[in-house]
Structure 1
Amino acid sequence: MRLAGTMTSALSKGYHKLLQPLHLSAVSFRCLSNNGPPKMPPCDFTPEKYTGLPYEDVVRIRKSNLSAVMTYYKKPILVHQGHMQWVFDHEGKRYLDLFAGIVTVSVGHCHPKVTEAAKKQMERLWHTTNIYLHSPIHTYAEKLASRMPGKLKVVFLCNSGSEANDVAMFMARVHTGNFDIISLRSGYHGANPYSLGITGHSSYKPAVANGFGCHMTMCPDVFRGVWGGSHCRDSPVQSIRTCSCSPGSCEAKDNYIEQLRETLDTSAGKKVAGFFAEPMMGVGGVVQYPKNFLKEAYEIIRAKGGVCISDEVQTGFGRTGSNYWGFENHEVMPDIVTLAKGIGNGFPMAAVVTTEEIVKSFTQALYFNTFGGNPMACAIGSAVLDAIDEDGLQNNCAVVGTHLLLELAKLRDKYEIVGDVRGKGLMIGVEMVKDKKSLKPLPAEEMSLIWEHCKDNGVLLGKGGLYSNTFRIKPPMCITKEDADFAVAVFESALIRHQQMISR
């Protein structure tokens, strides 16, 4: 499916040129080894001169006075300033940010509408607890609820995706009176002691007790998993696996559903509290499930007395392009939805949205959050929702995201180490392998070679997947086709360099 057309939505003042789709040929940006580095698209923003701590002092303080927080790259970037899809380091070098602060900067770094809303609210009131009435809190709750389908109309505001998922687990157990929670292997739902139980990555699990009553079923990965074919995904790009399914059937979906049934029969009680799934895995490597997997999974869970929770921390707010919420791509209606990251364009904010029926059960016990519904967060959240609409960003995700996916798929067909290209809208994964026959993950040192080359040439990528061999591309939703072509050119130049290094 190829999406086309131009954006006609009203755009924020001063940024219409930045956000208009640019119909430029990808060929003009492609880099061959003798043509030099790809040319970065223009930007009319000039960052302020950096006057902060010297780089060496920042590194020293990081080692001595901050907890053990990981950094990206051999020489970590000292980020100084941001502007829409761009970030600038302390030396003024510009980077195309295709990871968006881990899928958090949704409408653009320092978006003018969001920045102005923050300034106005800061001058009026920074904080009051939600035990009082304050207009921005209620304005935001109504605005967010209006974008939710069905009976999903009651909003709980909190501070992070991990906290939102903790609250959702608590809700599910209180409402159903059951205890067991089911999630998917390779999925990520946070690192709090409660939500850690439904996170399927050993890297995040310390050797301490966590997540009692949590059970995981097989990840329905149609590229690397046991089953999968060439027609499984709701994506412009399918996997390279062959498919022998008859029209209207999907053996991969049927087999992964059978694994869910087996998990319920062997690991959980007769009744369960709930089922957690991202509509498309984020940290897990942008894994997409077979069509109708979630639909059948929801039916099975509800038959067991449980509720269905959609973790929209990375997939929400139009990022997938075709729909505002990721679960809508699967034609399902969750009972609880968790939101964070892009909800505040980088401001600490999260939410749980559910039904009045579940809320009545949950409020039997007092739940309180000091900073949930902070006036600053709500003013910013409202501005983010407005910017998504006014800048036509959902449509931009569909147009630019599909273009980027199809261009990356050409590299998959050209290079043996590009195993899979997948995703929807501007949530994209590129899984790297040693070869397409074995599908063994590309070794970490080779991943780093490509990753570092992209950074050195002005493109920032994330990494993820169970084996950290998937490049995660989830930029601010305002990127253009010109930006996408530049990113593909830089990525291809990194693949060429990889070939040259390995062949030596």
Structure 2
Amino acid sequence: MRDFLMRPMSVLPCSRHLNFVRADGCMLYDIEDKAYLDAFAANGNVLAGHAQALIIDAYNNPDAHSPRLLFEDLQQLLPSYLSLFQLFPSGVAALQQACRISRQRRNKPYIIAISEDIVQNSFLVMSSSDEEHFSPLFSIDTHFELVSHNLSHPPVTGEKKLSQLGKSCKGACLCSLETFFAELSDQTAAIIIDPSIGVGGSIEPCRNFFVRLNEFCLASGIDLISNETQCGIGRTGSRMFGFQLLNIHPDIVCTGPSIANGYPIGVSIYAEHFADLVEPVTKTGCSACSAASATIKLIADQNLLRRSEQLGEFLKDKLHAVLGTNPLVNHIRGLGLMLEIELINQESALATHHRASRAGLITGTGNVRPGIIRLTPPLIFSADMAENVVRILAEAIAASE
């Protein structure tokens, strides 16, 4: 069983060799007071940086602990039709509740994931992914018959199909999508999308695909669920939520701890047509609501949305300029401050990752797709820090040649 677990909160595979005792902004410090530049931010959850006084004070202020205030803050960021909220202690709980509510509304069995990036640790959600690594968990245990037989995925996944839709594939994915809807739409309650496939490789989505998917869902009576737990708020740049970049209108949006700068929280946000099914649920500490409201305020006050977009472009351009012709580098991709470098194999990626950590740079690796170096720094990252990331990674990759 241990072999099938994903550990999204692991800072890095060699974390047993590191013992961080304090953090400040974008820096981590070990027991010997060695400084590390944090370009991973606990899987992107520490959105506004470590030890933010505004967020800590809000978390510790009992007078500010109100879910209603958080709902009002979120409503200002969302389309008006997304007006119903439920609170949970994690993103996975929020997404599972979204699946339950959708199945109850549609009275259909299937919940389908469009990407291989369904990373939350639960049987219900992992089994909606097409990741072969998890398939032994769901194929024989009759206790999970509902999950194993009533959750599936269409043949429209993978980097080439999603990121190159309308280019080299010449619309093949749309054909696959049409075939899928012809065969399974009458059995499908909801489809889960990730606006920027994080653990699957930060694959920049083709917007035409998602617009067409939205149209199919609307015409077929299928709920569209946007899983924003990887994107967080503001990380993809220019808009607070990833689905807003795609010009789509999901029925449900799910978020995770990043909206509270890493404090445990999950929020399911529903369209108004779920009013008869969605009752107020608060299964998380209200102090996390205060942290979330403070995080939203900090992002607005420091214009971190624009910073994420500009610095993400800067870092991506630098990575392309320095590493783009390296024979060990297959691809550099991503949106905003959610970037990934795909190396030719897992061995090169892990070697680079370890060398970078020894040089004082914390990065992530792909939990699903091998050969990945993940960069999800706090949105307060600076251009100088971005330059250091490129320099250290270039040296670490060069040592692998």
- The residue correspondences of 1:74-473 to structure 2 (distance < 5 A) are 75-121=16-62, 136-204=66-134, 207-208=137-138, 209=141, 210=144, 211=147, 212-221=149-158, 224-225=159-160, 229=164, 250=167, 252=169, 254-266=171-183, 268=184, 270-363=186-279, 368-369=281-282, 371-372=283-284, 374-433=285-344, 442=345, 444-464=346-366, 466-473=368-375
| 1:54 matched residue in structure 2 | none
Q: 2 CA distance for matches of 1:143 and 1:82?
A: 28
Aligned partner letter, 1:225: K
Q: 1 CA distance for matches of 2:223 and 2:163?
A: 27
TM (normalized to structure 2)? Answer: 0.90
3-state DSSP of counterpart to 1:338: strand
- CA deviations on 1:339-360 (whole Å, 9 max, x unpaired) are 0031111110010111221131
Aligned partner letter, 1:216: H
In the superposition, relative to structure 1, how do residues 402 and 349 fare at CA in structure 2: closer, same or farther (>3 Å)?
same
Deviation at 1:368, TM superposition (A): 4.8
| 1:235 matched residue in structure 2 | none
Query: Could you tell me whether the CA contact under 8 Å between 2:308 and 2:336 is conserved in 1?
Result: yes
Q: 2 CA distance for matches of 1:346 and 1:145?
A: 21
Deviation at 1:204, TM superposition (A): 4.5
Query: Could you tell me whether the CA contact under 8 Å between 1:285 and 1:465 is conserved in 2?
Result: no
3-state DSSP of counterpart to 2:306: helix
Aligned partner letter, 2:322: L
Deviation at 1:251, TM superposition (A): 5.9
Deviation at 1:293, TM superposition (A): 0.8
Q: Provide the identity percentage.
A: 22
In the superposition, relative to structure 1, how do residues 264 and 152 fare at CA in structure 2: closer, same or farther (>3 Å)?
same
TM (normalized to structure 1)? Answer: 0.72
Q: 2 CA distance for matches of 1:179 and 1:486?
A: 49
In the superposition, relative to structure 1, how do residues 256 and 466 fare at CA in structure 2: closer, same or farther (>3 Å)?
farther
Query: Could you tell me whether the CA contact under 8 Å between 1:151 and 1:356 is conserved in 2?
Result: yes
Deviation at 1:261, TM superposition (A): 2.6
Q: 1 CA distance for matches of 2:375 and 2:288?
A: 26
Q: 2 CA distance for matches of 1:321 and 1:277?
A: 18
3-state DSSP of counterpart to 1:153: strand
Q: 2 CA distance for matches of 1:171 and 1:496?
A: 50
Bigger fraction of residues in helix: 2
Deviation at 1:379, TM superposition (A): 1.1
Q: 1 CA distance for matches of 2:6 and 2:317?
A: 39
Identify which range, 206-215 or 164-173, moves more after superposition.
206-215
Cα RMSD for the two superposed structures? 2.3
3-state DSSP of counterpart to 2:324: helix
Q: 1 CA distance for matches of 2:365 and 2:241?
A: 23
| 1:62 matched residue in structure 2 | none
Query: Could you tell me whether the CA contact under 8 Å between 2:127 and 2:134 is conserved in 1?
Result: no
Aligned partner letter, 1:287: I
Q: 1 CA distance for matches of 2:307 and 2:360?
A: 22
Deviation at 1:446, TM superposition (A): 2.3
Deviation at 1:206, TM superposition (A): 5.1
Q: 2 CA distance for matches of 1:190 and 1:206?
A: 17
> Which stretches in structure 2 are left out of the alignment for 5+ residues?
none
Deviation at 1:471, TM superposition (A): 1.1
